[in-house]
Chains A and B, each alone.
Chain A
């Protein structure tokens, strides 16, 4: 099993540019999570999908952030326009869920985003 795959691993962009982060969950997992990690705040949940449907997006900072899951094997997190305060490590995690019960979350390697 390849685990959760994220791309790119590193992204450096200039303020105002659009950034798209990508995630491929573990095959067979039906729940997907996007997290942001900073030194100050630790890990924070941005959005949670179950069976490709967004269930909880209350952690999305503002309208500049959007996430999609067009199918069970792919998700994107987009920031447009990006700002320096968006600099962080973004993690995707997936789990196998049954009904409302969510199993152990497995994390990808993360994307380190730097906005200049």
Chain B
């Protein structure tokens, strides 16, 4: 069964600090992995997308890594801001162009002043 596991479940950090969120997946065949940011009361918004051949992808202060051999991904947030407080969801697509996505349950990040 395709699964995506995320850790930690929740995280509290001080403004300005860095943090790393983890994602492990068992999805086959693998097509791509996305990290989504979901603000409270909003829908998920894609931050990054990585395919099998990509090891790292950056989007401003967000940097995602992918190790397709170990089936692990991480999302690193640099110099956190209060606006980074949100849930971060790891999503894996099985098969090129597939509509079937496997969602992690997310990591709830709280950035405090």
Which A residues lie at the B interface, using CB under 8 A? 4, 31, 33, 41-45, 48, 55-56, 91, 93, 95, 97, 99-105, 107-110, 112
B100 on interface, CB distance cutoff 8 Å: yes
Which B residues lie at the A interface, using CB under 8 A? 41-46, 49, 89, 96-101, 103-106
Q: Specify the chain A residue showing the minimal Cβ separation from B44.
A: A107
Most chain B CB inside 10 Å of its own CB: which residue of A33, A102, A103, A109: A102
Q: Say whether, besides A91-B43, A104-B49, A108-B43, A43 and B103 are in contact (CB < 8 Å).
A: yes
> Would you call B43 and A109 a contact (CB within 8 A)?
yes
> Would you call A43 and B89 a contact (CB within 8 A)?
yes
> Would you call B99 and A31 a contact (CB within 8 A)?
yes
Instruction: Choose one: B45, B89, B100; the contact of A45 (CB below 8 Å).
Output: B100
Instruction: Choose one: B43, B105, B106; the contact of A107 (CB below 8 Å).
Output: B43
> Would you call A102 and B98 a contact (CB within 8 A)?
yes
* Chain A interface, >50% SS class: strand
> Would you call A4 and B97 a contact (CB within 8 A)?
no
Instruction: Choose one: B41, B89, B104; the contact of A109 (CB below 8 Å).
Output: B41
Q: Specify the chain A residue showing the minimal Cβ separation from B99.
A: A102
A107 to B72, alpha carbons, bound, how many Å?
25
Q: Specify the chain A residue showing the minimal Cβ separation from B6.
A: A42
Contacts of B97 in A (CB 8 A): 97, 99-103
Contacts of B49 in A (CB 8 A): 104
> Would you call A42 and B46 a contact (CB within 8 A)?
no
Q: Say whether, besides A42-B104, A43-B89, A43-B103, A101 and B43 are in contact (CB < 8 Å).
A: no
Task: Contacts A42-B106, A55-B99, A104-B46 known; list 13 others, CB within 8 Å.
Answer: A4-B43, A41-B105, A42-B103, A45-B101, A48-B99, A97-B99, A101-B97, A102-B98, A102-B99, A103-B97, A105-B99, A105-B101, A109-B41
